[in-house]
Structure 1
C-alpha cells in the first residue's frame, strides 16, 4: 500500500509505503537507489543486513545510496517506509547528507524516543492509515522550524533535473543556478548526499524503468534505452547493474516488486 503525503509535505516526503508479511519464512529483499533517503519504522521486524548478517535496528534512517543494499527478514513483520525527498534527511538530522550516504542510522541514536510511539502503534496493529496521519502531524510540526537558506536552490535544481529526465549538462546547470559546477556539487553533496551528475543518472535510470514497466508496445530494449537518453545499450546495462545489481531482463523477471526501488529477490 502506497500513500501520498498531504500537499504541504510533498516537497519533503515522496510517499509512505506500508508492507506486511504474515508468514514465518525467510525473505531476501533489495533496496536500490532512486535518489531518495528515507525512514523505516517497525515494531516487530527481524531484519538483517545482506552481507554481514548484522541485525538492523527496529527503526532506522537510510541515507542516499550509491547502488543497492540487500537485507533478509525472518518471520512476520509490518513496517512503514517513509520515502523522503533526497534533501529532507539533511533537514531532519541537521547533518551533512554526504556523511550519511550509504549509511544506516538507528532512530534511537539521533531522535531518542521521538518516534517510539509510532513503533508501539505498529506493534499493536493500529490501522496504518492512522499512523501515517499521525506521522504527517509529526513532520508538519518539525518543519515549522527555520530552513537552510540553500533549501530553495536545492529543491528548484532537483525539480529542474526531474523535468529534464536527468539529461542536463553542466553548462545548463550553471546557467540555471548561477553557480559554478564545483560550487553546486559541494552544495548538492551536503544537502542530498550526491553530485548533480549522479542524481541525474539515477533519474534517467528510473525514467527507463518506468518506460520498461509500461512498455505495452513491446519495443526493443535498444529503442527504450535511446528514448531514455542512453547513447548505447551497453551503457544502460552497466548503469543498471551498478545501481540495481541486476540486468534489465532479470529485473523484469522479478515477481515481487514491493515498491519502485524495493524488490524481493
Structure 2
C-alpha cells in the first residue's frame, strides 16, 4: 500500500509505503537507488544485511544509494517505509548527505526515543493509515526550525532535473541556477549525497522503469531505451547493472516488485 503525504509535505516526503509479511519463510529483498533517502519503521522485524548478515535496527534511516543493498528477512513483519525527497535526510539530521550516502543509521542513535511511539503502534497492529497521519504531524513539527535558503535552491534544482527526465547537462543546470559547476557539485554532495550527473542518471533509469511498469512492454527493449533517451541498449544494460544489480530482462522477470525501488529476489 502506497500513500501520498499531504501537499505541504510533498516537497520533503515522496510517499509512505506499508508492507506486511504474514508468512514464516525467509525472504531475500533488494533496495536499489531511486535517488531518495528514507526511513524504515518497524516494531517486530527481523531484517539482516545480505552481505555481513548483521541484524538491522528495528527502525533506521538509509542515505542515498550509489547502487543497491540486499537484505533478508526471517518470519513475519510489518513496516512503514517513509521515502524522502533526496535532501530531507540532510534537513532531519543536520549533517552532510555525503556522510550518510550508502549508510544505515539507527533511529535510536540520532533521535533517541522520538520515534518509539510509532514502533509500538506497528507492533500493536494499529491501522497504518492512522500511523501515517501521526507521522505527518511529527514531520511537520520537525521541520519548523530546520529550514534555510539552500533547501529551496536544492529543491528547485531537483525539480528541474525531474522535469527533464534526467536529461540535463552541466551547462543547462548552471544556466538554470546561476551557480558554477564546482558550486553545484558541492551543494548537491552536501544536500543530496550525490553529484547532479549521478542524480540525472538515476532519474533517467527510473523514467525507463516507469515506461515498462506502466504497460509499455509491448514495445521491444530497444525502442523503450531510445524513448527514455539512451543512445543504445548496451548503455541501458550498463546503467541497470550498476544501479539495480540486474539486467533489464532479469528485472522484468522479477515477480514481486513491492515498491518502485524495492523487490524480492
Q: TM-score, normalised by structure 1?
A: 0.99
Is 1:243 the equivalent of 2:243? yes
> Distance between the aligned counterparts of 1:40 and 1:214, measured in 2?
26
The aligned residue for residue 185 of structure 1 is 185
Q: TM-score, normalised by structure 2?
A: 0.99
Question: What are the Cα deviations for residues 172-209 of structure 1, in whole angstroms up to 9, with x where unaligned?
Answer: 01100001111111000100000000000000000000
- Corresponding residue pairs, total: 265
The aligned residue for residue 68 of structure 1 is 68
RMSD, matched Cα = 0.8
Alpha-carbon distance, 1:218 to partner: 1.3
> Distance between the aligned counterparts of 2:216 and 2:144, measured in 1?
45
Is 1:116 the equivalent of 2:116? yes
> Distance between the aligned counterparts of 2:130 and 2:153, measured in 1?
34
- 1:80-95 aligned at under 5 Å gives the runs 80-95=80-95
> Distance between the aligned counterparts of 2:100 and 2:170, measured in 1?
25
Secondary structure in 2 matching 1:191: helix
Instruction: Say whether the 8 Å CA contact 2:91–2:146 is kept in structure 1.
Output: no
Question: What are the Cα deviations for residues 98-129 of structure 1, in whole angstroms up to 9, with x where unaligned?
Answer: 01100000000000000000000000111111
Deviating beyond 4 angstroms after TM superposition, the runs of 4 or more aligned structure 1 residues are: none
Is 1:51 the equivalent of 2:51? yes
Question: What are the Cα deviations for residues 68-114 of structure 1, in whole angstroms up to 9, with x where unaligned?
Answer: 00000000000000000000000000000001100000000000000
CA distance 1:146–1:102, change in 2 (3 Å): closer
The aligned residue for residue 134 of structure 1 is 134
> Distance between the aligned counterparts of 2:212 and 2:22, measured in 1?
31
